[in-house]
Amino acid sequence: MTKYIIRRLLQTIPVLIGVTILVFSLMHLVPGDPAQIVAGEGASEQTVENIRERLGLNESIPVQYGNFLGNAVQGDLGSSIRSGRPVMEEIASRFWVTFELAFYSTILAVFLGLIAGIVSAVRHYTLADTSIMIVALFGLSMPNFWFGLLLIQWFAIGNWMPESLEFLKMRPSGWGDSWRQIILPVVTLGTGGAAIIARMTRSSMLEVVGQDYIRTARAKGVSERLVTYRHALKNALIPVVTVVGLEFGGFLGGAVLTETIFAINGMGRLTIDAIRTRDFPVVQGTVLVISVIFVLVNLIVDISYRLLNKRIDLN
Amino acid sequence: MSVPEIILEVKNLKTSFATDSGEVRAVDGVSFKLPKGQTIGIVGESGSGKSITSLSILRLLASNGKIKEGEVLYKGQDLLKFSEDQMRKLRGNEISMIFQEPMTSLNPVYTVGQQIGEALMLHQNMSKKEAHIRSVELLKLVGIPSPDKRVKNYPFELSGGMRQRVMIAMSLACDPEILIADEPTTALDVTIQAQILELIKELQDRLGMSVVFITHDLGVVAETCDYVAVMYAGQVVEYADIRSLFHYPKLPYTIGLLKSLPRHDIEQDKLEPIKGNVPSPHDMPVGCRFSPRCPAATDLCRAKMPQLETDEKGNQVRCWIYSEEWDGESEVNIYGETRIAKSRGTETVLPD
């Protein structure tokens, strides 16, 4: 197992190098002179030259990449053009906000998704199954930004809420430390994820339930409940784990719309703001960090996959 | 000779499946008796309903399957009237089953020890530790080398033959009264087949189990069984002790089956197949189901379904030739063998 983890870790190195090359190229793939873009139209020759000097754009491309990689490995992703603060600092202050949102959303998605998926599979082709799958299809098709807006309309602005539910009422006016303010964004993100997990769990369970070893378990005198939870679920979860991991990774990097709607100062917001203001070092930094996280989440998924299913070999 | 106790008797069992193209009667009138400590072979072609019969006995049918009629008497009690809870206590405990596909019949995410131990913990209230110790003993019993190491293996680490041994160990865990073996050797190499058959026979002698052996292989039947029920298109068509069946089969279908087997003891230029195909379950003949293929079929055979008739030895046959109503010749030639019809007053004599 240790050997497997080490080998798997080594495999991530070429992936990460590829990611840094892509991130580095961002600045050079955008049409026009990056220094001119940063300086804005109508800037003086001298200003553009200063910016070019500051960003190190006078060096040859390989040297620039070498510098970028060398600094990045040491945790130095340059400084924000807009605020002048180190990019790492900017990211660190926003990362935990996004992490918290992604973490709770994943928990909600797994919790709802597994229950819905299992119920659906155990009672397949019944009314319960059909209703759950219709709701899941709805949850899957509903764009996050729209669902988020609806939630705000219903729970934060609307006046129809019964008094017992008043505590849910909140204003989408920024990210405080109150746990209540996390509920609506988590519901927005988590329900979409739950829909995917529910569908995956259902189809995976239905496939497993038809296997010969399930019949063997029944022939042994195992109760239906244990057949479902001990014999079927453990096998059915193997593909679901991948989906959960990818969703968590996706939430970390892709909660841009949800963060924008709920005015959450997370990584998504940071990225969007940086793109809008052409703050290249910050864009590079956020994309790089999100990519690294995604690679790490995938690594964890692979390892847990292996823990669940002993048959999987690295080859 | 004392009359042996009948441990399992299936009476007129009928099992149907609901499919998109309508109801399919997979088992349509199956009856047989299994005396205690003996082996019955259920033989038939693919699709004759033999596996469904075995699954019906333990009520393990897929959700679209339903037992419509009949009785499954185990020690005189009808299992079809048992509650699901009662059935569960019986399965794997008093009646256990091994399946055709050793490669897929074990759960891939549990060790063989965990899977054998599960039955022990369920039915015999053993602790995890006791179950583990017993699992090792069982693996040893079924001839798995270094069982203390193998008990921690996952199924994918074992060969097909080894897995079938594990399945047998699992089914024997609680000393069952009856073992149902559904084509246990079909998926294995010939050499491994012989080993597994030998193992089942040896364990049966040692533990005093009764065995229901489901197979399409008459060679396996000759080696292992005391009684045989031949199935055709969902029905038992001939039931006899092994000696009668092989020396003097009565039913044209059985005669044809035996004639189509390669034999080493006589000179054969070519094998004689039974002409035609098994009827589709959606389009069953009105009369005898074998009549479209039977060389001796008469108008009576094609018009009316014969019933299982029992002779003085307790053997049964579903064929008009052996009934009072027979409308054909008194000496019937079937695949080169002569059978004497009952209506002409002659008793069939079994040659020694």
Question: What pLDDT, on the 0 to 100 scale, is given for residue A175?
Answer: 46
What value does the mean pLDDT take over residues A62-85? 85
**CB-facing half-sphere around the CA of B203: CA atoms within 13 A:** 24
Choose among B171, B81, B112, B195: nearest CA to A215.
B171
- pLDDT on residue A310: 67
Residue of A nearest to B117 (CA): A220
> Does the pLDDT of residue A169 top 70, yes or no?
no
d(CA A128, CA B281): 34
| ipTM for the complex shown | 0.84
B132 is written with which tokens? 């583990």
Q: What is the pTM of this model?
A: 0.79
Comparing CB atoms, the residue among A211, A213, A310 nearest residue B154 is A310
Number of CB pairs < 8 Å for A and B? 67
Cβ neighbours of A235 in B, within 8 Å: 107-109
Tens-level pLDDT at each residue, chain B (352 residues): 456 789 999 999 999 998 888 888 899 989 999 999 999 999 988 888 899 999 999 999 988 889 999 999 999 999 999 999 999 999 999 999 998 888 899 998 899 999 999 999 999 999 999 999 999 999 998 889 999 999 999 998 898 889 988 999 999 889 899 999 998 888 778 888 888 888 888 889 888 899 999 998 888 898 889 999 999 999 999 999 999 999 889 999 999 888 888 877 777 777 778 888 888 888 888 899 999 998 888 889 999 999 988 888 889 999 999 888 888 888 888 888 888 887 644 455 555 4
Residue of chain B whose alpha carbon sits nearest to that of A208: B107
How large is the C-alpha radius of gyration of chain A?
24
Lowest mean pLDDT segment, chosen from A171-185, A192-206, A218-232, B213-227: A171-185
Q: Which residues in chain B are closer than 8 Å to A213, comparing Cβ atoms?
A: 104-108
Three-state secondary structure readout of A86-116: EHHHHHHHHHHHHHHHHHHHHHHHHHHHHHH
| Record: contact A212-B93, CB cut-off 8 A | no
Determine contact: B108 vs chain A, CB below 8 A: yes
Output the six-digit token pair for B48. 């004759």
B181 touches chain A (CB under 8 A): no
**Among B156, B150, B124, residue whose Cα is nearest residue B137:** B150
B90 touches A: beta carbon within 8 Å: yes
Count of residues making up chain A: 315
Q: Does A219 contact B at CB distance below 8 Å?
A: yes
Contact A221 B90 (CB under 8 A): yes
CA B249 – CA B336 distance, rounded (Å): 13
* A308·B123 Cβ contact <8 A: no
Question: Could B122 and A220 be called an inter-chain contact, meaning their C-beta atoms sit closer than 8 Å?
Answer: yes
Q: Does A235 touch chain B (CB under 8 A)?
A: yes
Which position has the token pair 């709770």? Answer: A104
- Chain A hits for B156, CB-CB cut-off 8 Å, are 310-311
Name residues whose C-beta falls within 8 Å of residue B77's C-beta, 6 or more positions apart in sequence: none
Distance CA B99, CA A211 (A): 12
Q: Using a CB-CB distance cutoff of 8 angstroms, which residues of chain B are in contact with residue A221?
A: 88-93, 119, 122-123
Q: Say if the Cβ atoms of A213 and B88 lie within 8 Å.
A: no
Let me know: does B144 contact B192? Beta carbons within 8 Å.
no
Q: Which of B282, B208, B294, B209 is nearest to B251 (CA)?
A: B294
Q: Are B97 and A235 a contacting pair at CB < 8 A?
A: no
**Distance of residue B225 Cα from the nearest chain A Cα, in angstroms:** 23
**One-letter amino acid of A169:** K
